[in-house]
Protein backbone atom coordinates (compact mmCIF):
# COMPACT_ATOMS: atom_id res chain seq x y z
CA UNK A 1 0.00 0.00 0.00
CA UNK A 2 1.30 3.48 -0.75
CA UNK A 3 2.95 5.22 2.19
CA UNK A 4 0.94 8.41 1.63
CA UNK A 5 -2.37 6.60 2.00
CA UNK A 6 -1.13 4.90 5.17
CA UNK A 7 -0.02 8.25 6.62
CA UNK A 8 -3.41 9.83 5.98
CA UNK A 9 -5.09 6.87 7.67
CA UNK A 10 -2.80 7.09 10.69
CA UNK A 11 -3.39 10.83 11.03
CA UNK A 12 -7.13 10.36 10.71
CA UNK A 13 -7.14 7.68 13.41
CA UNK A 14 -5.01 9.83 15.75
CA UNK A 15 -7.27 12.86 15.22
CA UNK A 16 -10.38 10.76 15.82
CA UNK A 17 -8.99 9.36 19.06
CA UNK A 18 -7.89 12.85 20.15
CA UNK A 19 -11.49 13.99 19.56
CA UNK A 20 -12.64 11.02 21.67
CA UNK A 21 -14.84 9.63 18.91
CA UNK A 22 -15.45 6.03 17.93
CA UNK A 23 -15.40 5.08 14.27
CA UNK A 24 -19.18 4.79 14.44
CA UNK A 25 -19.59 8.27 15.96
CA UNK A 26 -17.30 9.83 13.36
CA UNK A 27 -19.18 8.06 10.60
CA UNK A 28 -22.49 9.39 11.90
CA UNK A 29 -21.10 12.94 11.93
CA UNK A 30 -20.10 12.81 8.27
CA UNK A 31 -22.76 10.49 6.87
CA UNK A 32 -20.57 7.41 6.35
CA UNK A 33 -20.65 4.01 8.02
CA UNK A 34 -18.13 2.62 10.49
CA UNK A 35 -16.68 0.23 7.88
CA UNK A 36 -15.79 3.17 5.64
CA UNK A 37 -13.99 4.96 8.48
CA UNK A 38 -12.13 1.71 9.25
CA UNK A 39 -11.08 1.32 5.60
CA UNK A 40 -9.72 4.86 5.54
CA UNK A 41 -7.84 4.50 8.82
CA UNK A 42 -6.23 1.23 7.75
CA UNK A 43 -5.40 2.50 4.24
CA UNK A 44 -7.65 0.07 2.41
CA UNK A 45 -9.27 3.08 0.74
CA UNK A 46 -8.51 6.78 0.54
CA UNK A 47 -11.13 9.46 1.27
CA UNK A 48 -11.92 11.92 -1.50
CA UNK A 49 -11.51 15.67 -1.00
CA UNK A 50 -15.10 16.22 0.09
CA UNK A 51 -14.79 13.47 2.71
CA UNK A 52 -11.44 14.83 3.89
CA UNK A 53 -13.01 18.25 4.45
CA UNK A 54 -15.89 16.69 6.40
CA UNK A 55 -13.46 14.56 8.44
CA UNK A 56 -11.23 17.50 9.32
CA UNK A 57 -14.24 19.51 10.47
CA UNK A 58 -15.70 16.57 12.44
CA UNK A 59 -12.49 15.92 14.40
CA UNK A 60 -11.62 19.61 14.77
CA UNK A 61 -8.32 19.77 12.89
CA UNK A 62 -7.21 21.74 9.84
CA UNK A 63 -7.31 19.73 6.61
CA UNK A 64 -3.54 20.07 6.23
CA UNK A 65 -3.03 18.15 9.49
CA UNK A 66 -4.64 15.11 7.86
CA UNK A 67 -2.88 15.29 4.49
CA UNK A 68 0.47 17.07 4.77
CA UNK A 69 3.52 14.95 5.29
Q: What is the torsion angle, in degrees rounded to the nearest 10, for the CA atoms of residue 23, residue 26, residue 32 and residue 37? A: -40
pTM of the model: 0.93
The fold of 3-67 is 434 Repressor (Amino-terminal Domain) (1.10.260)
Dist CA 42 CA 36 (whole Å): 10
Please give the pLDDT value at position 1.
59
Q: Which of the two residues, 68 and 16, has the higher pLDDT score?
A: 16
Indicate the domain borders of the chain.
Answer: 3-67
Buried b (16+ CB within 10 A) or exposed e, 28-48: ebbebeeebbbbbbebeebbe
pLDDT-derived band at 69 (thresholds 50, 70, 90) equals: low
Report pLDDT for 68.
87
Tens-place pLDDT, residues 13-66: 999 999 999 999 999 999 999 999 999 999 999 999 999 999 999 999 999 999
Amino acid sequence: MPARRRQIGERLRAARLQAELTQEQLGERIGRDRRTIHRWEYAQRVPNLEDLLLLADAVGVPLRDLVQG
